[in-house]
Amino acid sequence: MLGAPGAGKGTQAKMIAEKYGIPHVSTGDIFRANIKNGTELGMEAKKYMDQGLLVPDELTVKILLDRVAQPDCGKGYVLDGFPRTIPQAEVLDKALSEMGDAIDYAVNVDVPDENIVKRMSGRRACVTCGATYHIEHVPPKKEGICDKCGSELILRDDDKPETVLNRLKVYHEQTQPLIDFYTAKGVLKTVDGTADMQDVFKAIEAVLG
């Protein structure tokens, strides 16, 4: 799954996993599971994370391959959050081909930057229970107050327009080249991410067949 932060690719990845009965493989989740279970790879990744460093690509790919080699990935899987850069995509491609595997589709959920800024700056989170709302799409019953626990709702720092624009800049510099990479391989499929969530999913279903 490709797409800018806030494009909704995580939501779509979960819906694909559910519909097709395949695992939703998110690198963040795999790291957490490996660290929690105290695996050798998890402990190695933790060393970097504890220092606030990025986990090196080779190690990330090792952990990812370990996950996709599990029996539940036999029918396929949805990759979410990886690869983010060309070097990661190249390491992943090489490793998959050695396993006799390959990426079938790179689905790009395309949303213009201005839509993303508007979408994310409309988000509100509860300071107490963490419930999330959107002032336009999922508003609370009472403005600024959480329906579930009655606490205050805030605009998180990472959803503020200036932070979102900065994240988008990083995305365009690092991840946008992946679109060209997968286009050249003939596996890129782009869907309009500005449509309603269910319509975006229908477009993805049409691609996956």
Q: Which of 9, 62, 119, 124 is catalytic?
A: 9
**pLDDT value at residue 199:** 96
**pLDDT value at residue 84:** 86
185 carries an active-site annotation: no
Domains of the chain in start order, with CATH, are: 9-111+167-200 (3.40.50.300)
156 carries an active-site annotation: yes
Report the distance separating Cα 201 and Cα 188, nearest Å: 16
Q: What is the pLDDT of residues 11-41, one digit of tens each?
A: 899 999 999 999 999 888 898 899 999 999 9
Q: What is the mean pLDDT of residues 185-201?
A: 95
Q: Which of 14, 118, 160, 167 is catalytic?
A: 167
**pLDDT value at residue 81:** 84
Q: Which of 156, 169, 185, 202 is catalytic?
A: 156
84 carries an active-site annotation: yes
Can you say how many angstroms the Cα of residue 37 is from the centroid of all Cα atoms in its chain?
A: 23
Burial of 191 per CB tally in 10 Å (0-12, 13-18, 19+): buried
Residues near 27 by Cβ (< 8 Å), separated by ≥ 6? 60, 63, 64, 80, 81, 82
19 carries an active-site annotation: no
Is the pLDDT at 6 greater than 90, yes or no? Answer: no
**pLDDT value at residue 180:** 94
Q: What is the pLDDT of residues 111-151, one digit of tens each?
A: 999 999 998 999 999 999 989 999 988 999 999 999 999 99
**pLDDT value at residue 185:** 95
Q: What is the pLDDT of residues 40-65, one digit of tens each?
A: 999 999 998 888 888 888 899 999 99
67 carries an active-site annotation: no
Binned at pLDDT 50, 70 and 90, residue 168 comes out as very high
